[in-house]
Chains A and B, each alone.
Chain A
Amino acid sequence: MTVSGARGMFSAYAPILVVAALLALTPLATSANTVLNAMVLALLVALAGQGWNILGGYGGQFSFGHAAFFGTGAYGTALLQARYGLNAYVAFAAAIGAGAAVGAAIGFLSFRSGLRGSYFALVTLAFAEVFRIVANASPFTGGAAGTLLKLDVAPGNFQFASRAIFFWIALALVTLVLILTRAIERSRFGAYLVAIRENESAAQALGIDTFKVKLQAITLSAAVTAAAGAFYAQYFLYVNADIAYGAAVSVEALLAPIIGGLGTAFGPLIGTLALHGLAEGAKALTGRIPGIDVALYGALVVLVIAFAPKGLRGLAARLGRGLSTRWAS
């Protein structure tokens, strides 16, 4: 590898490792279970958002139904263990595969029929709703009562007494996807994905098989979001239809990258931390007024879309540039 190539590698991946290392210190700073719990949940939302960001942020295909993948990951790991007695880690991997398969199937149907924009968004939303209704009604998934996993704390069962371990595993997953996303940015696949987002006709004219690239993107995107769902089920040892396939998951998965910065590697993580930080802060200040976090989410989304269409990540870059030019002059 050339020197400039090595330097490019360093500047591309070093920030990811630094951020991961800093976040990994959290359990050393606090052993409060509530804080760690909140952090684990934030990382899961970030992970779901990272999945969404591959398809929506880079590929420009906005899904309103990523709960379909999250839920399949959650139910997948829960049912494979509870019903078929599979090892928790095997079930986790299989659940990611199931999520990817659902992504590929939805992608095949939607993209083959040329769905774009709001039509694609609505179809994904419809799929997630159908899954929710079926999971809520079917005896196989435990119906409205959901599926419970047997508590049996042992590392071999992917169950840990310490929340810190869960935190570190979730962080490792988020870090892995950060690296994956950065690698996509630096690949032909990534260039094609962004080209499709920017102008699909021009992409086709330049030889891009837009159907294939979108299908690959939704499959990968679904796999990542399914991993978040599978982790969720493993962490709480419980899943039901409203949690797994509920619209709230779909909304969180798209809000995080939109707030943090669409089509940027760090966007989903930044967006999640901002949203969750805000919600927690508001709860502390206002003394748990019900719904205050949702109202704040709404306000933040409006603010970001109005004043920072490229998300917090873009806003930071803009402020940085503004400051440096002011310093220079």
Chain B
Amino acid sequence: MSAPLLSVQNASKRFGGVLAVDSVSLTINAGGITGLIGPNGAGKTTLFTLISGFERPTSGRIAFQGVDIGALAPHKRAALGVARTFQIVQPFAGLTVRENIAVGAHLRHARRDEALAKAEAVSERVGLADRLNAPASGLTIAGRKRLELARALATEPTLLLLDEVLAGLNPSEVRDVIPIIQDIRRGGVTVLMVEHVMQAVMSLCETVFVLAQGRIIAEGSPSAITKDANVIEAYLGHGAAKRLAARDVAHG
């Protein structure tokens, strides 16, 4: 059996007194879309920073394609095929959309003209083709989220970490982006996405991990997760699962 694409084993991250990620273990096989959900401050973004290399785990192991990458700098992980987007978008504000995406494309294309051509192709996939010459600073929030996606995609990743790319979008914008993510998966990229928009999680993800206070409290299909007592408690507070169950019984 070949190694899983990503394997996180007992990873923890402590910031002073806060244990943001607490012995998290998870395995992701190549090919699907996996969700990572959890209440605010659960440690989802921190887990992404550990996988992408922006922070080193306090303890634990992170392996990509069977290789321990826990000590590698972010750019080396990107070169291996791990791309991430930022929850708080980080555009190259002074550059055009085309130039922004081309920076990502340069990872696999040394020549400027090839990187620019690749940027154009990627812009079409994410629906930014009509904005190629616009300055990134002039994009709406929805446009900036697409740009995050485009730049990461332009690095031709194997594993794509999406941190709330749908946050801040209105329902119709969310509906526009969902097929883009499906198209990325069809292109052979494995996706791990942090998302609060449950409609998207339900329609996109095969498997969902639930993180609360730094720990994985549930793992399963989206429909199973939404019925999980631990998950309901984590989101709605202690005793919520019981109260809901009691209400369901009362309503017959």
Chain A residues with CB under 8 Å of chain B are 5, 186-188, 191-192, 194-195, 197-199, 201-210
* Cβ 8 A contact of A199, one of B54, B84, B90: B90
Please, could you name 5 A-B residue pairs with CB atoms under 8 Å apart, sorted by A? Answer: A195-B95, A199-B91, A204-B75, A208-B103, A209-B73
A202 touches B90 (CB 8 A): yes
Does B93 reach chain A (CB closer than 8 Å)?
Answer: yes
B75 touches A194 (CB 8 A): no
Rounded to whole angstroms, the CA-CA distance of A203 and B103 in the bound complex is: 8
B84 touches A205 (CB 8 A): yes
Rounded to whole angstroms, the CA-CA distance of A201 and B107 in the bound complex is: 15
A206 touches B115 (CB 8 A): no
A5: chain B residues within 8 A (beta carbon): 113
B92 touches A194 (CB 8 A): yes
Rounded to whole angstroms, the CA-CA distance of A194 and B98 in the bound complex is: 14
Query: Chain B 99-121, CB within 8 Å of chain A: the 1/0 string?
Result: 10011101100111101000000
Rounded to whole angstroms, the CA-CA distance of A68 and B95 in the bound complex is: 31
B151: chain A residues within 8 A (beta carbon): 202, 206
Chain A binding surface, main DSSP class: helix
B95: chain A residues within 8 A (beta carbon): 194-195, 198
Q: A5-B113, A188-B110, A192-B103 are in contact. Are A207 and B75 (CB under 8 A)?
A: yes
The distance from the CB of B76 to the nearest CB of chain A, in whole angstroms, is: 8
Rounded to whole angstroms, the CA-CA distance of A294 and B158 in the bound complex is: 57
A188: chain B residues within 8 A (beta carbon): 106, 110-112, 115
> Residue on B with the closest CB to A213?
B75
Does B28 reach chain A (CB closer than 8 Å)?
Answer: no
A191 touches B102 (CB 8 A): yes
A201 touches B86 (CB 8 A): yes
A205 touches B103 (CB 8 A): no
A209 touches B103 (CB 8 A): no
Q: A187-B112, A195-B92 are in contact. Are A205 and B78 (CB under 8 A)?
A: yes
A198 touches B92 (CB 8 A): yes
A208: chain B residues within 8 A (beta carbon): 75, 103
> Residue on A with the closest CB to B108?
A207
Q: Which 9 A-B pairs have the closest CB atoms?
A: A207-B78, A198-B92, A207-B107, A202-B90, A204-B74, A195-B103, A206-B104, A188-B106, A209-B75
* Cβ 8 A contact of A202, one of B73, B92, B99: B92
B112 touches A204 (CB 8 A): no
The distance from the CB of B32 to the nearest CB of chain A, in whole angstroms, is: 23
Does B211 reach chain A (CB closer than 8 Å)?
Answer: no
B103 touches A204 (CB 8 A): no
Does B83 reach chain A (CB closer than 8 Å)?
Answer: yes
Q: A192-B103, A194-B95 are in contact. Are A206 and B78 (CB under 8 A)?
A: yes
The distance from the CB of A183 to the nearest CB of chain B, in whole angstroms, is: 10
> Residue on B with the closest CB to A211?
B73
B74: chain A residues within 8 A (beta carbon): 204-205
The distance from the CB of B189 to the nearest CB of chain A, in whole angstroms, is: 15
A205: chain B residues within 8 A (beta carbon): 52, 54, 74, 78, 83-84, 86, 90, 152
Rounded to whole angstroms, the CA-CA distance of A198 and B147 in the bound complex is: 15
